[in-house]
Chain A
Amino acid sequence: MLHILLVFSPLLGSVIAGLFGRLIGARAAQLVTVALMGVSAIAAVIGLSYIGTEPFTVPLFTWAVVDGFQVEWALRVDSLSTVMMFVVAGISFLIHVYSIGYMADDPGVARFFSYLSFFTFAMLMLVTADNLIQLYFGWEGVGVASYLLIGFWYTRASACSAAIKAFVVNRVGDFGLALGLAATYFAFDSVRFDDIFAAATELAGTRLAVFGAEFDTLTLIALLLFVGAIGKSAQLPLHTWLPDAMEGPTPVSALIHAATMVTAGVFLVARFSPLFEYTPEALAVVTFIGATTAFFAASVGPTQNDIKRVIAYSTCSQLGYMFAAAGVGAYAIAIFHLFTHAFFKALLFLGAGSVIHALHHEQDMWRMGGLWRKMPITYATMWIGTLALVGFPLTAGYFSKDAIIEATWVADSAFAGYAFWLLLISAVLTAFYSGRLMFLTFHGRPRVPELAAHAHESPPVMTVPLLVLAVGALVAGFAGLSMIAPEGEFWGPAIFTRSDNEVLAAIEEVPALVKWSPTLAMALGLALAWLFYIKAPELPGRLAQAFAPLYRFLFRKWYFDELYDALFVRPAFALARALWQGFDVAVIDRFGPDGVAAATLTATRRMVRLQTGYLYHYAFAMLVGVVVLVSWYLIVVRP
């Protein structure tokens, strides 16, 4: 009952606000959704008591039964889904509250809250799924919710494009997930998690004959599922939608980046740990993609000028960290980082939103500066978020991020060394761009005085969520430490690791240099940022000029958008036009119906001469016909 309340209150709120928003008014719609989201969040907090207990399932009703394909709507409750529900419902509730202030003067408030709650509901369905179909429902549900929210300001062309891009790019990932689902059913004769995980050991090492070749069963399935994760979690090469998703209102960005949507991919890998554990090949791919994305996004971050974009790339990068951890078998650390990241990333986005709100939708950091006096709460909480992100000792990120870097050091899987070095470099870059963001926004002198003059601290409805999240960003690391305890009691059967997987135990015995390396990297990054943007502000410009090609490469985000545009978007449209005009009209119709019609017409002209127009001619012809028919009937059918 608790979990039904938890999952379905946001849906109820969404439906009420969506259908009756106009009737009951924006104020009431807001109240209902926020209240119901509150119910969900309280249920999620109470639900924490289920951690470490025996997993169970709350069945709802049958979706479909065809042969062995049996799918139920059901809520699966175990430590993994409980942690996810807590993160999703808790953060989402704070974002709902914050949105009351942020969206106060928007005409589409009811619609906005309806979408927001639906987004949360879809994510809750995803994390509580007990079979692949329900997971897929939540998976695409968050996709469509993000589409609606990114395109919320639908009169803006850029918002519409970003929304379509998000949905279509996600669909590419979902395509992989759908095939993964099909392959799973092919191999396991079931799409229910319990059946799949129970049979995983048996199928380890077996071959599956598909696509005209033979593949290792679990590797194929794991990789196909991972394609889905790449799309949803914005990893290379399907990351391009995430930075553009900034077109949505800022609370949406916070929701996408912290609680819902992008964490789904990491969750998927952790959920399928019983499969991934038996396929080192797939794990190696996960590590490689994760580490590369972490570095890629961290390298782009320092060149971006839009405050939200910097944070967006930071999300992309941090998700890469999580995948790198999962890839070396440290699923628990990946989820731990997901947990801590949710707090400080939501905090950073909402803080950025507070700044944007204060500056009347100005997002360019070069038009900010010196804001700390004007908005002290936002300033202080954002510093807390930044420190947590860069891994300042004893903040949330310090525990989780450092554990990831240590895990890549101790693991002996393929790409673990590659991951260690890339993640370490990324840690420097993370600290650098985070420091840059803070210095440019809040420190120094206002670069556009008239903008800064009108800046003001946000109302309490926005700052209170910031303060709550700031507390989370400070203590989530301590609070969640039991998640990565090597005994594994926290997770129970929810996360599976093979008996020879000892990453969690090993990270407690890494050399001191490795242990302190992330902290040193952080210090270096922050110091560089201070040097570049406080001490010697002329340096960045000179460096950018000196290394112009490199700067452009990073600024243009490694040219991924341009590449995809040239490789997929344009050719698809060109091919589309060519097929339609060149083949449908010019070939099929010309030689098909129109050709036949023309030939018929010629024949008809000749036949016309037979038609005299005299009624008795026709009558005679009909009579002959009848005679022939009757004769045939009498002679052939009834002899």
Chain B
Amino acid sequence: MLVSDWPILSLVTFLPLVGVAFILFIRGEPEVVAQNSRAVALWTALVTFLLSLLIWVNFDPSQPGFQLVEKSPWLAGLGINYYVGVDGISLWFVILSTLLTLVCIVDSWYSVEYRVKEYMIAFLLMDTLMVGVFVALDIVLFYVFFEGILIPMYLIIGVWGGPRRIYAAFKFFLYTLAGSVLFLVALIVMYLQTGTTEIPELMNARFDPSLQWWLWLAMFASFAIKVPMWPFHTWLPDAHVEAPTAGSVLLAGILLKLGGYGFVRFSLPMLPEASLAFAPLIFALSVVAVIYTSLVALAQTDMKKLIAYSSVAHMGIVTIGLFSPNALAITGGIAQMISHGFVSAALFMVVGVVYDRIHSRDIEAYGGLAERMPVYATIFMLMMLASVGLPGTSGFVGEILVIVGAFQVNAWVAALAATGMILGAAYMLYLYRRVIFGPLVKDALKSIRDMRPNEIIAFAPLVVLTLFMGIYPQFFLEPITSSVGPVLARLQPALELAMR
């Protein structure tokens, strides 16, 4: 299909807003409103997702640069353009965003009954903002989306969350906002230095090394909180525990990736010298994250907290990969982010399935579910294995590439990161055993139902993608590797300087 002259990125970005507009006009009985809101949201998300696949169709994976670029004057007085485009890295995050929004809407079809209309609006807004942040090629536009995401997410946690939702929502908001302010300062300084707000131009700009340090630290504050890196991670377990299932899905699936994406898009190419200079700091924090949070996960009694901590450990692998200056590790870091988008999203949905039925996240409340929920047990098993990085699942691809790549840079870092393989297996298997295996003795569980059709439909794409990426990762890696090329090229001079 020839659609290359459509403004396809803008269509994907703003189509969900059309859905929002429709939902706003829905009137009538509460039941009808809820049902119609769901339907509109579903169709909007579905069409948006299908449109986002057209981005992939029209994308040339062998080209490293930005493609499907659109540029038109926006804030003309300031010389700021509406400027969007995708490369092999953002391509996948755009599709992941539209997919996960769709999955969220299907998954919460029955489980959300409170303020359905507003709920659906919030998720469609998230869709627009998430896609926007990944396609934006102008720092002002990027920043608007980057910060804008916080608002619907804050509402999702604060309105549809658990008992301590207000505390969690505030913690989430303040934490991430604190980092963002410094990021904004960095962006302004960069603009003042270069006179441009365009990301592709800034990627080729040269900043004075001493300035780079400050800029890097300012950005680090923002990205490290988003990732989250140890010790800035404590907002995450609280946010996840209180967030509704679909909120956790987007939080883990997309929002955490903004930190990693920021590192790849801003820190590495724009501040190469500082990135290399600070790499040891990143390594240290990441290694601590992998070991520390894996251990902490082992001690959790709350399923969602356990998965949340495991996310921190997995993101530790990501940051190690991103800051090891070779194609293997950086590609691996990005692959790990994509995989984590499928796997952690699915794992939070796994918790959501039983939470909807029993209303407890306490591991102790379960046991022996395999008896009554074979489909659920199977999906949980697959996602658990993907989470521990079993070859043949998506979780393995990024992990092994990062370990092999990081080994070239620093074998200790690689070895310590690889201990996550052992600890990860321990806490996930232990969790699975306590929830799924054992005899079914608890009365509350004796009549528990297996997955509903809408739940199975929501899981299906994640299951398929987890396996597909494990068996044929080249499909995902090809565009990533070509777009990692320019990033490495920017690091190269600094690398040679450091070698000397």
- Name A's B-contacting residues (CB within 8 A): 22, 61-67, 69, 133, 136-137, 139-141, 144, 147, 151, 154-155, 157, 160, 163-164, 167-168, 171-172, 174-175, 178-179, 181-183, 185-186, 210-212, 572-573, 575-577, 579-580, 583-584, 588-589, 592-593, 596-597, 637-638
Contact = CB atoms under 8 A, between A and B. Distances in A.
Contact of B438 (A69, A155, A171, A584): A155
A579 B368 contact: no
Contacts of B397: 64
Interface in B404-443: 404, 406-408, 411-412, 414-415, 418-419, 421-423, 425-426, 429-430, 433, 436-440
Contact of B412 (A61, A69, A212, A580): A212
Given A211-B411, A597-B171, 19 more contacts: A22-B374, A62-B474, A64-B474, A66-B477, A67-B481, A147-B429, A155-B439, A174-B421, A175-B418, A179-B418, A181-B400, A186-B404, A186-B408, A211-B412, A573-B299, A577-B299, A592-B234, A597-B174, A637-B78
Q: Among B374, B404, B436, B437, which residue has the most Cβ atoms of chain A within 10 A?
A: B404
A193 B395 CA distance: 24
27 contacts: A63-B471, A64-B397, A66-B327, A66-B401, A66-B481, A69-B404, A136-B391, A137-B391, A154-B438, A157-B438, A163-B429, A168-B422, A168-B425, A175-B421, A178-B421, A179-B407, A179-B411, A182-B411, A183-B411, A186-B408, A572-B295, A573-B298, A579-B292, A588-B234, A592-B231, A592-B234, A637-B77
A155 B437 contact: yes
A154 B78 CA distance: 66
**3 tightest CB-CB pairs across the interface, nearest first?**
A182-B407, A576-B299, A210-B411
Nearest to B401: A66
Q: Among B175, B328, B331, which residue has the most Cβ atoms of chain A within 10 A?
A: B328
A575 B295 contact: yes
Given A65-B477, A210-B407, A576 B298 contact: yes
A182 B414 contact: yes
Nearest to B478: A65
Given A175-B422, A584-B296, A638-B77, A151 B474 contact: no
Contact of A63 (B390, B404, B473): B473
Contacts of A64: 397, 401, 473-474, 477
Nearest to B473: A64
Contacts of A179: 403, 407, 411, 414-415, 418
Interface residues of B, number: 64
B474 A63 contact: yes
B50 to A, nearest CB: 27
Interface class of chain B by DSSP: helix
A163 B428 CA distance: 13
Nearest to B370: A154
Contacts of B437: 151, 154-155, 160
B472 interface: yes
B436 A171 contact: no
A588 B430 contact: no
A179 B292 CA distance: 21
B78 to A, nearest CB: 7
Contacts of A178: 400, 403, 418, 421
B235 interface: yes
Contact of B296 (A140, A174, A185, A579): A579
B76 to A, nearest CB: 12
B392 interface: yes
Given A211-B415, A589-B234, A572 B433 contact: no
B170 interface: yes
B167 to A, nearest CB: 9
A140 B391 contact: yes
B326 to A, nearest CB: 8
A182 B421 CA distance: 14
A64 B374 CA distance: 34
Contacts of B174: 593, 596-597
B418 to A, nearest CB: 5
Nearest to B420: A175
A593 B234 contact: yes
Interface string B306-341: 000000000000000000001110011000000000
B124 interface: no
A186 B329 CA distance: 13
B300 interface: yes
A61 B396 CA distance: 18
A308 B414 CA distance: 40
Nearest to B385: A144
B387 to A, nearest CB: 13
Contacts of A65: 474, 477-478, 481
A616 to B, nearest CB: 28
B433 A160 contact: yes
Contact of B422 (A172, A584, A593): A172
Contacts of A181: 400, 404
B425 to A, nearest CB: 5
B176 to A, nearest CB: 11
Contacts of A211: 411-412, 415
Interface in B429-481: 429-430, 433, 436-440, 471-474, 477-478, 481
A175 B290 CA distance: 14
Nearest to B237: A584
A164 B433 contact: yes
A61 B430 CA distance: 35
A580 B385 contact: no
A588 B231 contact: yes
B331 A66 contact: yes
A160 B438 contact: yes
Contacts of B292: 579, 583
Q: Among B328, B437, B440, B471, which residue has the most Cβ atoms of chain A within 10 A?
A: B437
Contacts of A183: 407, 411
